[in-house]
Structure 1
Amino acid sequence: MTSLAGPSAVATGTRTDADGDLRLGTGTTFAARISPDGRWIALDLLGVLWVMPASGGQARRLTSDLFDIAQPDWSPDSSRLVFQSYRDGVFDLWTVRPDGSGLRQLTEGPYDHREPRWSPDGHTILFSGDASGSYAIHTYDVDSGRVGALTDGPGQEYEPAWSPDGNRVAFVVDNTRIDVVDRTTGRRSTHVTVPAGQVIHQPEWTPDGTGLVHHLTYDGRCHLMRGDTPLVDDQETFPFRVSWLDGERFLYTADGRIHVRSLTGSGTRTIGFSAAVTTRRPRYTRRRSDFESTGPRPVRGIGSPVLSPDGEHIAFRALNDIYVMRIGRAPQPLTRDHWWTCDPAWSPDGKRLAYSTDRGGTLDLWIRDLDTGRDRQLTDLGTRAAVSAAWSPDGKEIAFLDQDGALWTADVASGDVRRVFTATFEPGRPTWSPDGRTIALAAVKPYSARFREGLSQILLVDRTTGQGRYVEAVAGRSIQTRGDDGPVWSPDGRRMAFAVASVLYTVDVAEDGTPVGEPRQITGEVTDAPSWSGDSRHLLYLNNGRLRLVPADGGRPRTVAVPLTWTAVRPPARTVVHAGRMWDGVRREIRRDVDIVVEGHRIRSVEPHDDRRAGQRIDARDRLVMPGLIDMHHHREMQGYAYGDRQGRLWLSLGVTTTRSPGSPAYHMVEEREATRSGARIGPRYFATGEAIDGPRIYYNFMRPTFTDAQLKLELERAKSLEYDLMKCYVRLPVMWHKRVVAFAHDAGIPVTSHYHYPAMAFGGDAMEHTGATNRFGYSRTVTPLGTGYSDITDLFVASDMARTPTLFGSTTLYREDRSLVEDHRVRTLNPPWRMAALRESADAAARTDQTARRANLRAQVRQALDIFRRGGRIVLGTDAPIDHAAVSLHMNLRAMVTYGFTPYEALVTATSLAGETLHEDLGRIAPGMYADLAVVDGDPLTDIKDAANVAQVLVSGIAHTVESLLQPFSETPPADSRKTAGSSVLPPVPDHPANRKFWWHGHQYVETARHACCSG
């Protein structure tokens, strides 16, 4: 790859290739506690336990990076510290002496144990935990190790605090109040309450036991409060308990430092600290993508394969089509068109195939008669999608999901539809009981309403009552993904099949789907997407890009050959783009009146314009040509099912020629990559991973819950076989496994990203997603609630060269005065109705509500990114689309960056040359040898950043698309005879269940259907 200057061309700092030891003197969102004897301060900076003298100075590390600790507390005699640690994939309590000796684990098991508090008499440790299905306050007896329950009310109860005499315990309930329980009488009372929207954290009793000090966040402010009175309101206080030096003075963390104040005084004393950490820059040979080889390549992107009832045929998704293959023969394409198709489903008699396509305008169910070859559109829902089809055993109905995850049925004869069950978050494909009374599907069941993560279990929906109930597939474990990994009911009704821990299981079930007996493991190899033969004797599944058949009772599997190949699309031999003005993605200057000569996939030369130059011509003499934009964070398949063929076209129409997904369903990711590279689907160039590797608890359907070392090996095997372009470690993956993933991926030439900057920086991680986003601790260590980051963020990003993708969700506040893209013709045409409604609602909300606090937060985040960028750090643009609106959000991110400090040139570099350099591909620049990914725009984006959206034409790998050609399929109304009206009836709302409850993350409500779920992607 040709070297380029990257940010050093625009920044005041420079990069080096060396690892570095840094001494940090400020920190972001860290806690500190002074020892009862007044000699020491313990702090949890960067997830490491440190101890330093109470007067300040050099901090001494007590735990390794692998322990990932938080919120230390001293024993009354100052001889030990207790803390929570995520070392083993759940939060447990540990103790250690202040000299680092005597490290001991106190709790274990599948549940989280957080926020330990040592009792005044030293015999008991309070903590919060979720063993009861909600957060409650528990006790740990130091002498015996017994755990007991202190409180377990209907709300989420956490962050306990002892009164000085040990008789009372205060704790937070649901973010908005502090309750106190008397340990002697059991009497409970509320001492502090705040309105919804304000958030309480971390109460602590005053030394005389007469009052409580707590942290309060509201309206973009963070205060320490005593009752209703602010104690500290002139600093950005961090949301942790104060620590008492005596009856008047308290220690707390704020503005990146440790401070001391008095209850009655006004002065502040700062206690300085120095903590030494080491960063290691990634050193490995990056694997390069092959976009140009002309030879045939085997198809590995086999999506949603299903075995026919007779066991002799397989239908699957590949290369932007549905293929039907008689085993032993070549697959045959079903549609041979450009429309999006997905989710094939055999009728019980094997004569028809249902599938979803947007051929009629939006994603609906269609049925193909396999004897006659005729198609019939079954649904025409207009305002919602219809995907994940499953036939009823009698062939009279088809169950399906809409884009929000609600369960519906369609009458095959009439097309009438009926909602069966409310929306759950990203559920799996439905499956029917033999009597048609029960529909089962995979759905997430959170451990509590405080945090959204849980297990993907089997949700059994009774069609006659509308009631749903959860049952476990394998005790304490998740179904692997809530996509195609089951459950799948056997046709004889006796068993269900599903993938758990990356292998195949079956379990006997009762008529209503209740498991009977123990699950049986059928395979020992990587297994995905099981389906049954009609006689219930065999199971088909995917294994690392190949189809396999195995006897349902176990045995040796055999490979089913799929003789299907694809070849890379061939661009015109020679194209000449006459640019009146050209920005190359690196220099500040604009060149004028040049020809960009493209041969095949790449730019051959950039020369003064010459009318005599041969080749296919693109006339941009009155326009500016620039590198196509690169979105470094999106989830193309996450809602691709809802967008259909529109999604890729929308990105291109707004100048986005490359996207990178740090989390997608693995086989659908490979299908998308092969479909776009072969030209079967129109869309940007595509880099992606499969499902992010997660710990035992998950939320999204495109995360892989991981339970053991052996399973992690299988997950890595899948990644290597399917040639992931990157790997992502998600929120609940233990640091030890994160480190193993980095080592494995780098050996294979693959970069690794996550939501965490440290300790990933200590073992050579490549990137971090978001400014902060979801964190297993419930708060971010890379950004405060007000958007601030201190030297432990900025210095470390500069030193490590780790790429950071801010994904500025607050850019939606700009809709208040800038709705230009909301009403843009391209956006209105290429968004499906439900996404367009959501976009308009987002813009309307920005206009009708006070955005002051969110603007201040956005400003702080942008300025943090700008500091890193101008010092030579690696900031690249990403959006979390399509959760945040595809393509539109990229331009709103650019506009937010410029609004709050970036120059247009600097902002554009993050989405062009620096992004291309971070990908280690020949992208993001206009220069000889680079890929011909270009955007032709009106105006001058280097002067007015809004002009970057004024796209008239794009080239992707030398293939040109005009905006008109991209919009054309959706600009025309489909013929009347291809559409039909489907009736609908909706059942009454179903009872509450855990997948639809509210989740709390550092004071912000996350509802599983709300856009804020994006903060985890």
Structure 2
Amino acid sequence: MTRMDRWLMMGWFLFIPLSALAQTPIKFARYPAPSPDGARIVFSYQGDLWLAPATGGTAQRLTVHEGYEFAPIWSPDGKKIAFTSDRYGNDDVFVLHLDTGRVQRLTWFSGRDRTLGWTPDSQAVIFESQRDWEPYGVRFVPYVARLEGGTPYRLHDVEGTPAALSPDGKQVAFVRRDSAWWRKGYRGSATGDLWLHHLETNRFVRLTETDTPDTFPMWSADGRTLYFVSERDGTYNLYAMDIATRRTRQLTHFKGDGVRFPQISANGKLITFEQGMDIWRLDLPNGKPEPIALAIPANDERGMQEVVRTFSGNISEYAISPNGKEVAFVVRGEVFITRFPDGGITRNLSETIEPESGLSWLPDSKSLVFASEASRFPLSKGEPAGGGSDLYLITSDDPDEPRLRRARKLKIERLTQTPESESSPRVSPDGKKVAFRRGAGDLVVMELETKKERVLVRHWNLGEFVWSPDSRWLAYEQEDENYNADIWIISAEGGEPVNITRHPRNDSSPSWSADGRALVFLSERDTDSPNIYFVFLRKEDDEKTRADREDEEDARHDPPKKEEKAEPNGGRGAAEPKPKEVHIDFEDIHLRIRPVTRYADGVQEAVISPDAERIAYRTAYQGQSDLYTIKWD
């Protein structure tokens, strides 16, 4: 008994106790490859390689690595498995020696290398790579890498993959002008056809000539039949061609989703492939396709090394609390919070493996709304799971500490529970409502106290949106059927939205002034790059002269006259002033738009200062991106 036989026997003994343990059925296993005798399959799942009986059952993990391992192919002698992995950065070719468990690296190229097959003697791996300049650019060409080492060399001097070497090593079946497998229904100049290259005579024979793609060639054990995938019936299905007569017969008849990444056993008795969410088998020559039911042990835990990292940058978004004392931010999909502006101890508020985004504070600086794809946040009893991302409200559950970064316990409340994804929450300035995006383009407003919702806008591509200071209006960016974006305003109570920009060039990124009298946005109307524009929302403001505005500024900054009056708010101090109601004169509002900047390189962001006197913006007009301010007039 050889070492390889002992190793495989140990594997089969492992299958026996595993079958008695709890099992978890799996879907989306990929790249199945049958053993030479067709008794077992190796496939990729969770980024590792697994071994299972070809009839189905519990799989055994073969590799454990943080890299993504895929496209396994069994050697003809059954002693080795070649596969592709990005464990060193890009895709390279590796070989797993089944008798020892040793993994051997075969390629070190800076580009992508991907396994295609083996030479008949099991001493070299055939793979595809883009290494040499072809007459029409760098194309994928089959190369050979020998286990004993040495520089990889071309299998033959012809571009075109996938490619398969015949069992006697004398012919290469390959695809010329292969189109992407995921490009369904393609008809055009890149439609792939099958060709045959006789290596000894250097003679080429075209095997197929259709207006549909033919790909993934596979040889029978005797070299007389070529199996392949074709879309000639409208879906990718398996076909068999007699090499001598060119007679072709269809083997599978899937509709809709077709056959992907088939492999044939060395004895020519079994083809395995992907279809839908499953791995399938087809017994040759006249069997019917059957799905292979696969499972993994329920207690299988991938051996991952714990890594502790310190991040000092790469923040994807942040939100400063309204009281200016804390800042919440997102790093690698996690929500953190710390003091502002001095920093200090940072706390992770989410602690999930799923990404979070869309931070928005409530006015009291004690609660934060965000979007998350996590399903582990607690749900109320009987509450259904949502789809995609949902909105959550996080507050302190510590009666002695309202600050989120210091609270001993946090309370997370789920706000949405629909099949669609909710994202980009924006809490209204009065803290009573939250606006958010549902799906790709619906603008929805929710009352935080009652959770009652209003759909303000139904659209397929909603851009940025912002609340007015009085929480009565929303300005938002929306594209039309020609993908031109305009700025619209709509009442938070609903009604007809108004297009306030009405221009054939893109307008985006609206921002309200603190007093609600002006709106700033970016526009490409006068340049090829976005620049800053603003519009007075009331006609009387637009008609004021510079002298009028200077008088207003003097009146605002002059000390008020002292008057004897009762102490406000019943002796409890000054009450929080309510924002003035925003009034908008919509008639001809698009004619009141004025430019602020005219940079050739454009402006990336723009917001109005709290006193409505200046606009802060970011631009790279001097060669690097920096922050600037400018008076709007």
TM-score range, shorter chain: 0.3 to 0.5
- Scaled by the length of structure 2, the TM-score of the pair is 0.45
Instruction: Please identify which structure carries the higher strand content.
Output: 2
